[in-house]
Amino acid sequence: MPKTVILSAARTPIGKLGGGLSTVDATDLGATAIKAALERAEVQPDQVQHVVMGQVLQAGQGQIPSRQAQIKSGIPKEVSSETINKVCASGIRSACLLDNAIRLGDLDVGVAGGMESMSKAPYMLKEARFGFRMGDGKAIDAMVNDGLTNPFSGKHMAQEASEVASELELTRPDMDRWALRSHQRAVKATDEGRLPEEIVSVSVKGKKGDTVVEVDEGPRREASLEALAKLPPIFIKDGSHTAGNSPGVNDGAGALVVSSDEWAKRNGRPALATIVAHAQVADDFPYLARTPALAARKALEKAGLSTDDIDLWEINEAFASVTLNSIRTLGIDEEKVNVNGGAVALGHPIGASGARILGALILELRRRGGGLGCAAICSGGGQGDAVIVEVNGG
């Protein structure tokens, strides 16, 4: 059975809601990331055999957004494509689907990733098709409805996270401390060139000419515990979650070129990483904070590894509470986790974040001379995914 390797990773900058990328279609962001990943892997578009891209907010996007991104990136129309929606885990699950296909011998090389424009999510008029008989209509925010709300309870994800925080013994001061760390690490990684290594710039058309977005818009140099402590709770009066210890609403995309080890050797393409194992879990709906650790444990068990074997972790900061609970549950050293900042600082374009954290993990392991890494993420509906990779250095 062939092994699956990752040949390259690339992502766009992450833009704020209404920020520098807000006018760019999600499929254009996806195409930019795909094209950059192919160039970094030195893989030609016509060598790609399949494309899997995650996207959550597909309302108004048009048919099969992954195929739109594929064609815009230059990959031929004869290449097949699929779009996956596993909420925040979409981008990471796309790589796992390619891994499964490669191990089965269904294909040799493909592109995985995710894309999201939360800024361009439309408002919906669900009753408009057959007319409003009387009274006012209601415009439904597709971003909140399709991406940020538990369909079973009708509650916003942040509200549910706050409701279970005390049960999980997660405190506001600890969350604020982690949020500050996220910003400080992201600013430092930007200044020292580590985050820019991940990024491909995006040219944005405007009435006064094109502008180029090349850095993440979220990290705050001025972040402080004092400022974070002044922010009011969101959704729950005495809750622990605030806008400061939660991620933003964002735009961005990421992509990875994935192949069999045999194809890479035949074509003289060096592998960045080997996929060792991956796992999916599901839990009760409000307990998002538990699922990354549960998925990581399941993946470790499949690989015959322990937490002590993992050199670096990327645990998506869906909220600071998620990462903190994962660290505590797994019993791992926080100095090995999100070493260049996380989604609280960088942002969380939901369909793309899984691809971002997987790419970030691989590139940082390579800088450190290799090792084993685990990327883990929670997703809406009470689910979680994790992927373990091995990097040989270089």
Partner residues linked to 372 by β-bridges: 390
Q: Are 312 and 156 in contact (CB under 8 A)?
A: no
CA pair distance 14, 200, nearest whole angstrom: 11
Tokens of 79: 């290449």
- Other C-beta atoms closer than 10 Å to the C-beta of 78 total 7
Concatenating the DSSP letter of every residue in 59-120 gives TTS-S-HHHHHHHHHT--TTSEEEEE-BTBTHHHHHHHHHHHHHHHTS-SEEEEEEEEESTT
**Residues, the chain, total?**
394
Q: What is the dihedral of CA 25, 31, 36, 39, to 10 degrees?
A: -160
Give the residue carrying structure tokens 């996956």: 84
Tell me the three state secondary structure of residue 5: strand
Q: Are 387 and 315 in contact (CB under 8 A)?
A: no
Partner residues linked to 349 by β-bridges: none
Please state at what angle helix 353-367 crosses helix 90-104, rounded to 10 degrees: 70
Q: Are 245 and 174 in contact (CB under 8 A)?
A: no
Catalytic residues: 88, 348, 378
Write the burial class of residue 267 (CB in 10 Å: 0-12 exposed, 13-18 middle, 19+ buried).
middle
